[in-house]
Each structure stands twice: as structure tokens, then as C-alpha cells.
């Protein structure tokens, strides 16, 4: 697996330090509230596990399965809610966690749906945000790192279901694709 990595973009220790900063910002923005955390599967699992352990408060954590990449390297442009039932969010303070903000279609679809379900507040945190124009009018409230418009793997991000368990964010060698 390591042989397939072209370069490490963001090292494990750098991610660790940034998560401490994100947690402090989130903690400040949700004073005294129980936070309903909604994790977008599967890419945000590693990010969510590491970030939520840094939040010293009562959390309720739910996962929803949405897809727009379907195993490829580019979004299909369609967001599919693979779970038919969303967590109960009516009147709740919600924090959506996602791995990467690319076109914005997935994050916007999820935020809009949670607001339709009656969430009192919806804030979003992403590990990565691509520095590019988005197809949807959405930006994350909390961003771990801004990156260029390139395909990345590791720390939850995958290529065809693989490389999620790398402890850093990197790029693949062309022959690995």
C-alpha cells in the first residue's frame, strides 16, 4: 500500500495538531449544548473518531451513508442518500462531519436535508477543502486543511475502497490508479 503513494501531502502529526485547533473552535461555538454529530460515511469515519474524542462534552453521534463518487476519482454529480431514515435532529444543534469538500454537492444536500428535518442549527466541519470553485453554494464552517484540486487518499479517503487506513493524506502514483 505504501508503495502506491506518490507523496505525503499532510503528515499524521500535522493532522493531530490541527484537530486540536478545530476542537477548540467547535467547543467555543456550541457552548453548553449537547451536539448531535452526523458523520458522513465512509470517508469521514477516521476524522470523526479523532475529532470527537477531543470534544469534552456530551455528544450524540449518528452516521449517514451518502454517495456521490461511487468508487471513482470524480463525483458523479448526483448525491444519493443510501439511508432511508435520518437521525432525529428537530430542534437540535447539529455538527456534520465530512472528509472532503470538493464540488459541495454532498455537503449542501445533507445540510439542506437536516434543515428540512427541523435542526435548530447546522454547522459543518471537513478535514479537507479543495481550493476551487464549487458546483453548490456551500462552504464548511470548520476546515482542517485547504488543498489543491487533486485526488487524495488516506486518513479515511479512499480509491476504490482502499487506502482509508493510511495515517496521513497523500496522493497516488499514476500506475496505482
Side-chain half-sphere CA neighbours of 171 within 13 A: 10
Residue 81 lies in a domain: yes
User: Which CATH number goes with the domain that contains 117?
Assistant: 3.40.50.2020
Residue 169 lies in a domain: no
Residue 106 lies in a domain: yes
Average pLDDT over residues 102-127: 95
As for how many domains the chain has, the answer is 1
Q: Does the active-site annotation cover 102?
A: yes
Q: CA 71, 163, 6: angle at the middle one, nearest 5?
A: 105
Q: Please give the sequence-ordered ranges of beta strands (E in DSSP) within the chain, or none if there are none.
A: 5-10, 35-41, 59-67, 80-81, 93-101, 121-130, 142-147, 169-172
Residue 166 lies in a domain: no
Pull the grid cell for residue 116.
428540512
Q: Residue 4: pLDDT above 80?
A: yes
61-75, 79-93, 99-113: range with lowest mean pLDDT:
61-75
For the chain, what's the residue count?
Answer: 177
Distance CA 144, CA 99 (A): 10
Catalytic option among 20, 102, 137, 158: 102
Residue 84 lies in domain = 14-147
Over residues 14-54, the pLDDT tens digits come to 999 999 999 999 999 987 779 999 999 999 999 999 999 99
- Position 66 scores a pLDDT of 86
Residue 72 lies in a domain: yes
Residue 132 lies in a domain: yes
Residue 164 lies in a domain: no
Average pLDDT over residues 128-153: 96
Residue 160 lies in a domain: no
Amino acid at each position: 500500500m505504501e508503495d502506491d503513494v506518490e507523496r505525503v501531502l499532510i503528515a499524521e502529526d500535522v493532522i493531530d495538531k490541527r484537530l486540536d485547533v478545530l476542537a477548540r473552535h467547535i467547543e467555543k461555538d456550541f457552548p453548553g449544548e449537547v451536539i448531535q454529530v452526523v458523520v458522513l460515511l465512509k470517508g469521514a469515519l477516521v476524522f470523526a473518531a479523532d475529532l470527537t474524542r477531543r470534544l469534552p462534552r456530551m455528544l450524540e453521534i449518528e452516521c449517514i451513508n451518502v454517495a456521490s463518487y461511487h468508487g471513482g476519482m470524480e463525483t458523479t454529480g448526483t448525491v444519493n442518500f443510501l439511508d432511508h431514515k435520518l437521525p432525529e435532529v428537530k430542534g437540535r444543534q447539529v455538527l456534520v462531519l465530512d472528509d472532503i469538500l470538493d464540488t459541495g454537492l454532498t455537503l449542501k444536500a445533507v445540510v439542506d436535508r437536516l434543515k428540512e428535518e427541523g435542526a435548530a442549527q447546522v454547522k459543518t466541519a471537513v478535514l479537507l477543502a479543495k481550493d476551487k470553485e464549487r458546483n453548490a453554494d456551500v462552504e464548511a464552517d470548520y476546515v482542517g486543511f485547504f488543498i489543491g484540486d487533486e485526488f487524495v487518499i488516506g486518513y479515511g479517503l479512499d480509491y476504490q475502497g482502499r487506502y482509508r487506513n493510511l495515517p496521513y493524506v497523500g496522493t497516488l502514483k499514476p500506475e496505482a490508479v
